[in-house]
Amino acid sequence: MGRLDGRTAIITGAARGIGAAMARLFTAEGASVVLGDVLREEGEALAAELGPAARFHPLDVTVADDWSAAVAVAEEAYGPVSVLVNNAGIVDFGTVGEQSPEAFRRVLDVNLYGAWLGLHTAVPSLRRAGGGVVVNVSSTAGLMGYANLGAYTASKWGLRGLTKSAALELAPDEVRVCSVHPGPIATPMTAGLDPSLVATQPLPRFGRPEEVAQMALFVVADATYSTGCEFVVDGGATTGSPLPVEAP
Ligand code: NAD
């Protein structure tokens, strides 16, 4: 018996990286999953590999009609949505003085507005399911600041804030809303980043997408008394300064 038997899930950004690891784990645990992504070829290949409990649906999270169709497809194929994972995200590097306004807006659009639109569209289905769980994939950039990542950091703090408001609003419907905050994870998003990025954190390595997927599974299946709160999976990156405080 799986821990997600009978659950219908939508996972965004599921064609690769963290979202793909979640799709694999959630279907292995018995959920039926709609994989939403703009990467059609990769998404369809993964859905085919996962079998009848998975199907790909082309979804740009910033497009309202795409969301309506994804929720309708999920309901029709598997029943009302009781798990929504807002995982799709993009990154753009640039200082506040140098990043273009278009790039800033695009990052906010995908990472924050896209998740809001997903919640907004899925709420009736979550209610029809009799309750459920929304997992918003934020970041350690939703817990602290990073230089050269202002747009990304703003989007991930915004997603953490949205999580709290939605948790308050949806608790009467038995819908929990939580944020997951990964540190540096080895995915296409971080490919090519300087490995020294992780050298000073307590666990000095990149995390694996599967380790974030396990956290999301815990939030959905086990954390039944948790809502509106943060689940951190970061190798200790936000724990504090690695420099010992020397006696004066
Ligand atoms: P990734 O780039 O490997 O995967 C992101 C997926 O989102 C891709 O499949 C991409 O096609 C999809 N996507 C992008 N724009 C989209 C849109 N408009 N509509 C639908 N899908 C879209 O990245 P990842 O590392 O797997 O990241 C997944 C999530 O985890 C993101 O929200 C990211 O910000 C967050 N995160 C990643 C890390 C990390 O170190 N990798 C750390 C913290 C948080």
Q: Is residue 243 pLDDT above 90, yes or no?
A: no
Residue with the smallest CA separation from ligand 1 atom 31 is 89
Domain residue ranges in the chain: 8-233
Pure H helices in 53-134: 64-78, 101-108, 114-128
Q: Is residue 241 pLDDT above 90, yes or no?
A: no
- For the chain, percent of residues with pLDDT exceeding 70: 100
Residue with the smallest CA separation from ligand 1 atom 4 is 17
Q: What's the 73 CA to ligand 1 centre distance in angstroms?
A: 22
For the CA of 18, the nearest atom of ligand 1 = 26
Structure tokens, 238: 């936000």
Supply the ipTM of this predicted assembly.
Answer: 0.99
Task: List the catalytic residues.
Answer: 152
Q: To which H or E segment does residue 176 belong?
A: strand 175-182
Q: Is residue 49 pLDDT above 90, yes or no?
A: yes
Strand partners, 233: 182
152-202 per-position pLDDT tens digit: 999 999 999 999 999 999 999 999 999 999 999 999 999 999 999 999 999
pLDDT of residue 95: 98
Matching CATH number, 8-233, of 3.40.50.1980, 3.20.20.140, 3.40.50.720, 3.40.50.1110? 3.40.50.720
pLDDT of residue 176: 99
Burial of 227 (0-12, 13-18, 19+ CB in 10 A): buried
Strand order of the sheet with strand 54-58?
54-58, 32-37, 8-12, 83-86, 132-137, 175-182, 230-233
Give the model's confidence band at 124: pLDDT under 50 very low, under 70 low, under 90 confident, else very high: very high
The ligand 1 site (C-beta within 6 Å) comprises 12-13, 15-19, 37-39, 59-62, 87-90, 110, 114, 137, 139, 182, 184-185, 187-190
User: What value, to the nearest 5°, has the Cα angle with vertex 34 and ends 31 and 38?
Assistant: 145
- Between β-strands 175-182 and 32-37, what pairing exists: parallel, antiparallel or unpaired? unpaired
Q: What's the 143 CA to ligand 1 centre distance in angstroms?
A: 18
Q: What's the 246 CA to ligand 1 centre distance in angstroms?
A: 40
pLDDT of residue 54: 98
Residue 203 one-letter amino acid = L
Residue 246: count other Cβ atoms within 10 Å of its Cβ. Answer: 5
82-111 per-position pLDDT tens digit: 999 999 999 999 999 999 999 999 999 999
57-83 per-position pLDDT tens digit: 999 999 999 999 999 999 999 999 999
Q: What's the 115 CA to ligand 1 centre distance in angstroms?
A: 12
pLDDT of residue 242: 82
pLDDT of residue 92: 98
For range 110-136, the mean pLDDT: 99
For range 17-46, the mean pLDDT: 98
